[in-house]
A = this chain, B = another copy of it.
Amino acid sequence: MQNEYVLRQERVRRRMLEDGVEACLISSNTNIIYLTGTLFAGFVYMDRDVTICFVRRPSGLDLENVVYIRKPEQLPELLAERSVRLPKSIWLEEDEMTHSEWLRISKIFPDAVTSNSTHKIREVRAVKSDFELELVRQGGRKQSEAIMAFPSLFRQGMTDNDFAIEMEREARKRGSLGIVRVFGQSMEIYMGAVLSGENAGTPSVYDFALGGAGLNPTVPVGQNGTPLCEGQTVLVDICGNYNGYHCDQTRVFSVGKTTEKALYAHQVSIEILNEVALMGQEGVACCELYNKAVEIAKRRGLDDCFMGRRQKAGFIGHGIGLVLNELPVLAPKSKMVLQAGMTIAVEPKFVIDGVGAVGNENTYIVHKESAMESVSLAPEEIVELKV
């Protein structure tokens, strides 16, 4: 496994060289995991020649090139002891580290010009290695199995939250790590959202595809205690994180039979996913996938309820990996182009007044010269819950 992480470090190093920067200092959880496979508190320091893990905690870490450290101010001395020349330019994770932390770190490298590495390392992370893709497939399989087991957990008289709790447990029993990592300091998520009835159209505080009022104004997202009544749809967007790599897979259930409009819109969602998956190969611009989805929704007469109703999401999908929202974004102004090895979640969803939301979400792997490969394997039709 060592090679996998050396390879990732090389990919970041190559990006550093392209940017003309001499070194980078990594302190975000996600990038520490990306570069070493293991979360620790501290820093990864990389220049053109060396990679050193400066670790505050835990003690006894089983990694190569570990140097224990109490505080970042020790870095110059510890680098000098190892004959590492202090850099004249350094990448810092400026979209991730706090301003106070930035002030502290930049003082430690007074002769270095600092610049922002966040977006550049996210671009590197967007394209996965074969090893990472296997983890994505494995996570997708586990999440698919969990989702296929969800309908059997439904009992008449449940609220959306009662049902969500049983599904969370099922996912945990199948190995979900629980934690959902999100890029962006203010987005928070428990395990995901279960949306039914009017609540499916409630605008979200976060930049999610759909919202939900949540159970408390301090956590205003997702299920809100809506009773699951006959005819309603139940959109289940419980995120999978089984091995550090997230998988998004939304499926829809209905309490007994649902309305013609809901069934129709769900079929359009499947149509959009099929079209987007067929289009999506290396070289295609992300905005084209967005435009295709919107065009189909419009052609099918459903643009008024596509991606929300009272408040609309401005994207139809997003990269996914060590965080739920990796690059690229499938949005109208996205300038990124698909590359083989990217993993993206596509989520064309519709809000049906008084019924709930419909629409699937699949996680795909982008290939060089063929359609995107779905790792979301649960059947795509709406599953009827027994009443």
Could you tell me which A residues sit within 8 Å of B by CB distance? 27-29, 33, 37-41, 57-60, 92, 94-103, 116, 118, 162, 165-166, 168-169, 172-173, 175, 177-179, 181, 185-186, 188-191, 202-207, 211, 215-220, 243-244, 310-311, 322
The distance from the CB of A244 to the nearest CB of chain B, in whole angstroms, is 3
- A206 — which chain B residues lie within 8 A by C-beta? 41, 57
The distance from the CB of A242 to the nearest CB of chain B, in whole angstroms, is 8
The distance from the CB of A105 to the nearest CB of chain B, in whole angstroms, is 9
- A202 — which chain B residues lie within 8 A by C-beta? 58
Q: Which 7 A-B pairs have the closest CB atoms?
A: A218-B244, A58-B203, A178-B190, A99-B102, A38-B217, A94-B99, A165-B172
Contact B58 A220 (CB under 8 A): yes
Contact B58 A185 (CB under 8 A): no
A10 vs B103: C-alpha distance when bound (angstroms): 30
Copies of the protein in its oligomer = 2
- A211 — which chain B residues lie within 8 A by C-beta? 58
Contact B177 A169 (CB under 8 A): no
> With A39-B218, A177-B219 in contact, is A203–B99 under 8 Å at CB?
no
Which of B177, B219, B243, B322 is in CB contact (< 8 Å) with A190? B177
- A204 — which chain B residues lie within 8 A by C-beta? 57-58
A60 vs B181: C-alpha distance when bound (angstroms): 28
Contact A203 B97 (CB under 8 A): no
> With A29-B186, A92-B99 in contact, is A178–B191 under 8 Å at CB?
yes
> With A165-B169, A310-B59 in contact, is A98–B100 under 8 Å at CB?
no
Contact A205 B95 (CB under 8 A): no
- A27 — which chain B residues lie within 8 A by C-beta? 186
Residue of B nearest to A27 (CB): B186
Contact A97 B98 (CB under 8 A): yes
Q: List 25 A-B contacts (CB under 8 A).
A: A28-B186, A29-B186, A33-B218, A37-B218, A39-B205, A39-B217, A39-B218, A40-B205, A41-B206, A41-B207, A59-B310, A59-B311, A92-B99, A94-B100, A95-B99, A97-B99, A99-B116, A100-B118, A165-B173, A169-B169, A177-B219, A179-B190, A181-B188, A216-B244, A217-B244
The distance from the CB of A25 to the nearest CB of chain B, in whole angstroms, is 13
A179 vs B187: C-alpha distance when bound (angstroms): 12
Which of B94, B179, B181, B205 is in CB contact (< 8 Å) with A57? B205
Contact B58 A311 (CB under 8 A): yes
- A215 — which chain B residues lie within 8 A by C-beta? 175, 177
The distance from the CB of A148 to the nearest CB of chain B, in whole angstroms, is 19
A166 vs B102: C-alpha distance when bound (angstroms): 42
